[in-house]
Amino acid sequence: MSTASGPQDADVSLYLHAELLPNIRQITLYVSLPQIPALEAIRPEIQLSESCKFVTVSLSKPFDHVAETIKLPARVTDATRRTLNINTAVSSPGKPTSGGYDYSVRMHIDPSDPVLAPRDELIDDYVPWTAADMSSLTRIRCRGCGTPFLKEPGPDHAVGKSDQSLQPGWLWKDLPSGNWAEMMDFWHCHKPDPHEDDPKSEAAAALKLEDQNAQIKGFGASSRVEAISGTVLIDVATFLLSEADCVGLKKGNTEEAQASTAEGSLERTLECTKCKAIIGMEDPSARGWRLLKANASLNANVPSSGLDQEQWQSHPTQMIVAAQLLELIERESARRFVVHCGQKSGLLLWVFNPDLRYSNSSSGHSVNAQQAMKVFFQKTLEIDKLLAPEIGNPSPLSVEELELPSMVYEALSEALQGSNQMLPLTARNFNEWQVGLLSRFSRVQAT
């Protein structure tokens, strides 16, 4: 954000925010000015770059030294530049708000821009840290203090493409999608059920052998995911490990560190032994420990030449939660969620746009367009009424539930509120909803 330098207009600044609207093939550009009496009659002027990818907004005299430039989320048409040059100003009048003046203008996207090409908004690249990103040398450590959480692998933990290339290391595997168990239950409920007096006894024997193989291979009706020593299992939000493979962690001893599971057993949180940060929790049903991606850092894609130049990476908590929401959208075809941390109150989220491209002049953002989810949210004090309404009082919304650890929930709430304050004043609310943005992971941007 640019600011003026004169003493009389030291607070004069421009804030730009652009959002891509692919369905109508347009970009909405917001221009925000502070509420200063001298700016009431000033209208910002827009100039489009030769490449049609950048816009520069400036003010007229005596504030002609105030200007700001951003890169648009997509290329716009050359006709847009001619229109802007003819009008030489934002076509819609500024709306006075409690914090300043907001202007907006629509610009048409160039039909040849790749951003308009058909694509699946829920392709698998929204999940950070999958098995494809890992190597046998990848390690997990505390995001805060750097304490390692994986033991050094011994001779029993060796991986390689052949017997000659085996070396000590860890095996990383992706867990199946969340609807895997439901699909298996459905299959077992509808598979053929031969009778004992069936003359075709070979069919009965084949099904019996199939059931035995199903239990061994992990797709039987009563099978479940369990931690395996020497292997790190990965889902959208956690790493599942055997307790014997972990170091630098201890179980929480306080009552607050325990939570009741669906099976009625108690699972305790896992703390970093050095900084006491909560890193994960026990998973009794999987007989292992789950480490939260949001609280860990990894040296993924480490070259085999050595660890001299290893680079540790971590992802924002909001990006991990966004991946969980996208996975639920894909699996349950839902767009509204009750998000909480085990308390009576929580957040009601409406994922309005799961794949938003935007750019702005905020100091904390890159010059390139960002990828995010546009989320409408509001606080709710009684989540039970939304999840399990009383008889005769049906819920007005079809919602899915997402329970998060308390520290992840708090980080999500802060991210939504922070992004709401980043938006132009006229774009911060939609009826009774607040509007926020959650950054989502993109493998293209990450590479």
- Residue 110 sits at φ, ψ, to 5 deg, of -60, 125
Q: Which amino acid is at 306?
A: G
Give the single-character DSSP code of 92. Answer: S
pTM score: 0.81
Segment 43-65, tens digit of pLDDT = 888 999 999 999 999 988 888 88
Residue 278, SS3? strand
What is the number of other CB atoms lying within 10 angstroms of the CB of residue 77?
18
Q: Which domains, and CATH codes, for the chain?
A: 15-116 (2.60.40), 125-298 (2.170.150.20), 317-446 (no CATH)
Q: What is the pLDDT of residue 167?
A: 52
Scored b (16 or more CB within 10 A) or e, 10-35 reads: eebbbbbbbbbbbeebbbbbbbbbee
The answer to whether the beta carbons of residues 64 and 39 sit under 8 Å apart is no
Q: Which residues pair with 192 in a beta bridge?
A: none
How far is the C-alpha of 181 from the C-alpha of 274, rounded, in Å? 37
CA dist 71 and 49 (Å) reads 10
Nearest Cα residue to 182 out of 219, 156, 157: 219
pLDDT of residue 42: 80
| Confidence at residue 247, expressed as pLDDT on a 0 to 100 scale | 94
Could you tell me whether strands 158-159 and 167-168 are parallel, antiparallel, or unpaired per DSSP bridges?
Answer: antiparallel
Whether residue 73 contacts residue 18, with contact meaning beta carbons closer than 8 Å, is answered with: yes
Q: In 3-state terms, what secondary structure has residue 169? A: coil
Q: What is the pLDDT of residue 252?
A: 81
Spans of the chain below 50 pLDDT: 1, 3-8, 86-89, 91, 161-164, 216-217, 219-221, 255-266, 303-308, 447
**Would you state the pLDDT for residue 11?**
66
pLDDT per position as a tens digit, 216-255: 445 444 556 889 999 999 999 999 999 999 999 998 865 4
What 3-state class would DSSP assign to 446?
Answer: helix
